[in-house]
Amino acid sequence: MGKVMIEVKDLKTKYVTRNHEDVYAVDGVSFKIEEGKSLGVAGESGCGKSTLALSVMGYYFAPLHYMSGDIIIDGKSISGMDPDEVRKHVLGTEIAYIPQAAMNALNPTQKVINFLYDVVHAHHPKMPKKDIREMAEKRFEELALPKDVLDRYSVELSGGMKQRTVIAVSTILSPKVLIADEPSSALDVTSQKLVIKMMRELMEKGYIKSMMFITHELPLLYNVTDDIMVMYAGQIVEKGTAKELVFDPTHPYSHALMGSILVPEEGTRGKKLPALPGTPPNLKHPPAGCRFAARCPYATQECKFYQVPVKEFGEGRMYRCLKGIDELKEAYSHE
């Protein structure tokens, strides 16, 4: 077992709306990522993936609020830390973030290198600009990015190039954890491949020690990450290795997600994919029982009212469902 880079224990965060209502967006999430490993987070829109990313960074600002739980990065707890402290000592150096909309993540009126100066100076105020440039040039070269990108404005870069620049900028200080929130969702397949390749290189060369990869594209997760957890309505409903989750999903929601992937082969044209009707529940008033019960094809009366326990099985796998594994497998085999 490698060294644990990030461990999150029973993390709960909420959004407070304009009308002072609480929305429990991340509800009791626990996971850990070891050195050199990557964790994928899957789920449909609105189920709390991006909020989880923001919550894990420990930098809270309205309307997101921390409630309880622990975030431990490389042995140091950052939960409950002052946001300004987090910003100074954690963000960028311990945890780095690649935003969902990387297209607009760079200031349009600033050259990439000047932004890099600011990023590095925020953590090492005395580092001379010459050294930063040297470091950036070296890093860009290793990641197969043209060096002249440094002296360009973001408006002069193509979409894929912008995304890769953002990744390089985010990881310039070699953070322990990289959180990538749908880094490739707005790109064409070629750029996507380059982005993925780059993230792999970052890991192999040790510029990042671990990674959390958020996406709704399951085939991508299977190719990129070691483990996958599936999120639904602010909770983790299933966790396991990438292979296990893709080929042997246990929870009905994971099962439905995997079932919605189309593998292009003979005869798939015009084939109707099974779609899951409905949308995730409103988390202002989460259901008393299983949060997925309303959409679950196998739900019974009990599911709607009983608290659902987390069940662990196999090697570090878990799922959150009232039904037993055999019972679920049996149900899936009849489809």
Partner 1 sequence: MKGLRKFILKKILWFFITLIVAVFLNFILPRLMPSDPVATITSKMAEGLTDTAAVQRIYEHYQKEFGTDKPIMVQFFIYVKNLLHGDMGTSFSQYPRSVASILSSAIGWTIALQLPAILVGWFLGNFFGAVAAYKRKGWDKIFMPISIFISNIPAFGFAVIMLVVFAVKLKIAPTSGGYAYDMIPNFSWKFIKSVLYHYQLPFWTIVITTIGGQAIGMRSMSIYELNADYVKYSRFLGIKDRKVVKYVFRNAMLPQITGLALSMATMIGGNLVAEMIFSYPGIGSQIYAGITTSDYPLISGSTLIITIMVLIMTTLLDLICGIIDPRVKAAQFDS
Told to check if 1 binds partner 1 by CB under 8 A, we report no
CA gyration radius, the chain: 21
Interface pick for partner 1 out of 12, 37, 123, 216 (rule CB under 8 A): 123
What's 51-113 look like in SS3? HHHHHHCCCCCCCEEEEEEEEEECCEECCCCCHHHHHHHCECCCEEEECCCHHHCCCCCCEHH
Separation of alpha carbons 323 and 101, rounded Å: 39
**Is residue 104 close enough to count as binding partner 1 by CB under 8 A?**
yes
Q: What is the residue-wise DSSP string for 275-301?
A: ---S-PPPTTS--SS-TTTTT-TT--H
| Shortest reach from residue 284's CB to partner 1, in Å | 24
Q: Does 195 bind partner 1 (CB under 8 A)?
A: no
Q: Binding partner 1 by CB under 8 A: which of 10, 21, 22, 118?
A: 118
Cβ of residue 50: shortest distance to partner 1, in angstroms? 11
Cα separation of 204 and 177, whole Å?
14
Q: Is 181 helix (H, G, I), strand (E, B) or coil?
A: strand
Q: Which amino acid is at 11?
A: L
Q: CA–CA separation, 329 vs 325, rounded Å?
A: 6
Q: Does 6 bind partner 1 (CB under 8 A)?
A: no
Range in contact with partner 1 (rule: CB under 8 A) among 34-42, 149-157, 217-225, 303-311: 149-157
User: Residue 251: which of 297, 283, 216 has the closest Cα?
Assistant: 297
166 binds partner 1 (CB under 8 A): yes
105 binds partner 1 (CB under 8 A): yes
Nearest to 281 by CA among 112, 101, 44, 108: 44
Looking at beta carbons only, is 93 or 241 nearer to partner 1?
93
CB of 266 to partner 1, least distance (A): 42
Helix (H) or strand (E) holding 189: helix 189-204
> If binding is defined by CB under 8 A, does position 153 make contact with partner 1?
yes
Residue from 3, 77, 101, 327 in contact with partner 1 (CB under 8 A): 101
Instruction: Find the shortest distance in angstroms from Cβ 191 to partner 1.
Output: 18
Cβ closer to partner 1: 169 or 230? 169
Does residue 96 bind partner 1 (CB under 8 A)?
yes
The residue ranges that bind partner 1 (CB under 8 A) are: 57, 59, 87-88, 90-93, 96-97, 99, 101, 103-110, 115, 118-119, 122-123, 153, 155-156, 166, 169-170
